[in-house]
Amino acid sequence: MLAAPRGKHGARIEVAWNTGSHYLQHIGERTAAFEAVVSLLPGYARRKTVTQLALSDEFQAAHADLLLKAMVKLGDADRLT
């Protein structure tokens, strides 16, 4: 979801998920691959089960494309199980 600036936090993308859930553990290899890609993106931060990507000048369209591709791969793994 896109989150508007609030307090000391600027605009950001938030991905709420629980990598420890039984559901995502079932596709553990794909879940780990998703985490690996997202954690390398600019503005990455994790707060419990919410991954945040700060939308700054450093976060470019190419980064959004990498995020989308990682999300699609994770979704594909779900459909194949």
pLDDT digits (tens, 9 = 90+) for 34-57: 889 999 999 999 888 788 999 999
Inside any domain, residue 68: yes
Domain of residue 48 covers: 2-75
Inside any domain, residue 40: yes
Q: In terms of Cα–Cα distance, which of 41, 80, 48, 30 is closest to 64?
A: 41
Inside any domain, residue 80: no
Domain count, the chain: 1
Indicate the pTM of the whole model. Answer: 0.78
Per-residue pLDDT averaged across 4-16, rounded?
89
Q: Which residues pair with 12 in a beta bridge?
A: 3, 54
Inside any domain, residue 12: yes
Q: Which residue has the higher pLDDT, 26 or 10?
A: 10
Instruction: Look at residue 25 and give its three-state secondary structure.
Output: helix
Inside any domain, residue 81: no
